Chains A and B, each alone.
Chain A
Amino acid sequence: MGQRVAIVGTGQTYHRSSRKDVNGVELIQEATARALEDAGLTRKDIDAVVIGNMDHFEGINYVDMWSIDGNGGLHKPIMKVTTGGTTGTTVAIAAFYHVASGLFDTVLAIGWEKNSESDTTAAIITCADPFWERPTFGGAIAGLATGALGYMHRYGITERDAALISVRDRKNAVKNPYAHLREEITVEDVLNSPMLAYPIKLLDICPRTDGACAVVFASEEKAKHLTDRPAWIHQVSTRHNYTFFTDVDRSGRMPTLYEACMEVYRNAGIKDPLHELDVVEMYTPSSFAGLVWIDALGVCDEGEAVKLVSDGVTEMDGELPINPSGGVISTNCIGATGLIRVAEAAMQVSGKAGEHQVPGAKTALATGFGGCHWSDVLLISSRKPS
């Protein structure tokens, strides 16, 4: 069987809307260097590198090769994985399997994006079927808007309900030095922000960010020499069930997230996620999705998320804090976004989250969203897996 795997170091850039002072490779290097430093390692200690982003966002083919000066992989095995918004979590999962396989002991996972270098919506539109979907598709914002409207209709939630998610995440971001948007906002701010694609307004949606994130995964043997606070990977799961946007089953809980969570809980023996999980870093591409998809985490009945949120359950001092980092609504360097969820979840269970630490957090869930309503889920804990 495979070997146990833990996260032993994380690094992020200070995320900004535009980093003209560095090119993409130099941006990646900043995150890589920080992760190595956090793990107490040098480049020479790394056995392999996994990296991901979206080609058409920066117009670079073979990003794994292009980034070698900054990704630490010179004369080492490098692999590129990419799955859209889920890329960051996909990178983390690939790094996990690298180590679990026993072929590598210390693996660097890197996600990055420099959204300032192109028109993000134009690039995202190219993920749709070129003939049947691209002409109408208005990118992530418009796609999420059609979803949001469906949620309003089905569950009776309002724009005001959704705004609570933006308000919560932006409040949390104030305590995260790496977050991109670090000013608190109110529900009124959200409701009064410019309408982008009905019902999604500027403050309901994630920003465009330049940034990178790197995470060091290590085998048990290596981890024990590197840290006394490893963040163990217990379970990972992925579901990519759809091919066309119009195939997505919208009749119940967000299906791929729900399926992936259920697989993770089943394999981990988790029966009551609301109480057994201590913190969630959730990929919330819009406030509406961030609200409604809470039910897909299996922590409440279908359609009950709004109650959970308005009761404060997902606040920093609630039963299950969601997005202490400020989440995607505060920072969105797309290829890194999922990996930041994993890094932040690891920081929480290792007690390294500083001012946005959830006290005593032991078990964390990180999720990724992307592609055609696809999901990734990772379960991370300070307890060593049995």
Chain B
Amino acid sequence: MERVAIIGIGQTKYERSKRGETFADLVFEVVTKALEDAGIGIEDIDNVVTVSNDFWDGRTISSMAVTDACGAYGKNVSTVEGDGTFGAFYGLMRILSGSFRSTLVVAHCKGSEGSNHLITNAMFNPIYERIIGLDSISSSALQARRYMEKYGVTEEQCALVSVKNHRNALKNPFAQIAMDITVQDVMRSTMLSDPIKLLDASPISDGACAIILAKEEMAKKVATKPVWVKGIGHSADAYNLGDRDLAEPEALIRAAKKAYQMAGIQEPFREIDVAEIYDAFSYQELLWSEGLGFCERGEAGGLIESGATDMGGDLPINPSGGVISAHPVLVAGLARIAEITIQLRGDGNGRQVDGAKVGLAHGINGPCGQAHCVWILEK
């Protein structure tokens, strides 16, 4: 694969409600920041990929709201409806095709504007599943229990993810929920849908994120230290929840295998220095860690207990605080890429993982992580 780098990033602060700002306002903010970060102008961008979702935005053709604000006038542009990691994947392919030298990828979402239960209920099969009343929380609870029971992972081990990530968030100015809590706090928080409790769950968030991808020749001329794309992969699992064994992150295993092959990674736990994983719920960081091959199946509970994924550990996971500390849907995957970019540049300030050279960013799509996208980045 030809060398492509991330040369600019921009994020809003993630908040519960940005009621004063439109989607266009959020997009303009992060696009401007990303361009400034790279030290280039909109005229240096030759194509754009926007990421948005018509259900979350309450608008058919949700990308229409941000056409002016994303700088797409007179340019080739497209829209991915899915997690930001998938949008970035498309942006990368457009450069690799030889048609473009720089893609601006921007995602936005305002969870505050719609009804989370109704919107996520609409993910499920309209003929067979919606009527039962599933939404993102209850479906994830089905997955959490299945995973925990099959592999003997405990609620306390899941709670450790919440403790670690909310603590990491204290050092991330973009995070929405940053706090020092204990396992007991998590265990005593309101039960939402067994075994998921309030502090096991990510919040509703508003925000946007932009990244700029560029060909090598351009990446070498810009203001920032380029962060190179070394490997990528994505894959999808079956749809009906009953078609899957929810304890088996089949699609993630396939996506990771592809990304690792491309990046030449054989022992991910040893070779990767920092990872940003889509922990919409605490159990997900553990389940996805297994799918990513950081440990054997069922051992992620032990992994977090060992401190290996803490800031000072062998493989710090979610130094940003993760999705559990800010969950603008769709944006969240792109924010994972942005955080890994920050880490590999060495710009992590209070949350810098020392000597990080190789990083992993991960995004999910669909119910219970039906699809996954994995990025390996290198400084």
- B-binding residues in A (CB < 8 A): 1-2, 23, 54-62, 64-69, 73-84, 90, 93-94, 96-98, 100-103, 123-124, 126-127, 129-130, 236-243, 259, 370-372
B93 & A259 in contact (Cβ 8 Å cutoff):
no
Within 8 A of A (CB), among B45-83: 53-55, 58-61, 63-69, 72-82
B367 & A65 in contact (Cβ 8 Å cutoff):
yes
Q: Ordered nearest first, which 10 A-B pairs have the shortest CB separation?
A: A65-B366, A100-B97, A1-B98, A101-B96, A101-B93, A2-B97, A2-B98, A55-B54, A84-B61, A61-B122
A237 & B76 in contact (Cβ 8 Å cutoff):
yes
B235 on interface, CB distance cutoff 8 Å: yes
- Looking at the complex, which one of A73, A101, A241, A372 makes contact with B97 (CB distance below 8 Å)? A101
A residues less than 8 Å from B370 (CB atoms): 62, 65, 68
CA–CA, A80 to B366, complex, Å? 11
CA–CA, A124 to B61, complex, Å? 9
Q: A371-B61, A372-B64 are in contact. Are A65 and B54 (CB under 8 A)?
A: no
**Closest Cβ of chain A: how far from B139's Cβ, in Å?**
12
B99 & A2 in contact (Cβ 8 Å cutoff):
yes
B residues less than 8 Å from A81 (CB atoms): 78-81, 90
Q: A61-B53, A82-B79 are in contact. Are A241 and B74 (CB under 8 A)?
A: yes
B residues less than 8 Å from A94 (CB atoms): 78, 90
Contact flags B278-315 to A (C-beta < 8 A → 1, else 0) = 00000000000000000000000000000000000000
A372 & B67 in contact (Cβ 8 Å cutoff):
yes
B125 on interface, CB distance cutoff 8 Å: yes
Which partner residue on chain B sits nearest A267 by CB separation? B99
CA–CA, A239 to B75, complex, Å? 6
Q: A65-B370, A79-B80, A101-B97 are in contact. Are A60 and B234 (CB under 8 A)?
A: no
A65 & B236 in contact (Cβ 8 Å cutoff):
yes
A83 & B78 in contact (Cβ 8 Å cutoff):
yes
B residues less than 8 Å from A67 (CB atoms): 239
A residues less than 8 Å from B74 (CB atoms): 239, 241, 259
Q: A68-B236, A75-B235 are in contact. Are A130 and B59 (CB under 8 A)?
A: yes
**Closest Cβ of chain A: how far from B107's Cβ, in Å?**
14
B59 & A65 in contact (Cβ 8 Å cutoff):
no
Which partner residue on chain A sits nearest B234 by CB separation? A77
Which partner residue on chain A sits nearest B253 by CB separation? A75
A238 & B77 in contact (Cβ 8 Å cutoff):
yes
A residues less than 8 Å from B90 (CB atoms): 79, 81, 94, 97
**Closest Cβ of chain B: how far from A92's Cβ, in Å?**
11
A residues less than 8 Å from B269 (CB atoms): none
B132 on interface, CB distance cutoff 8 Å: no
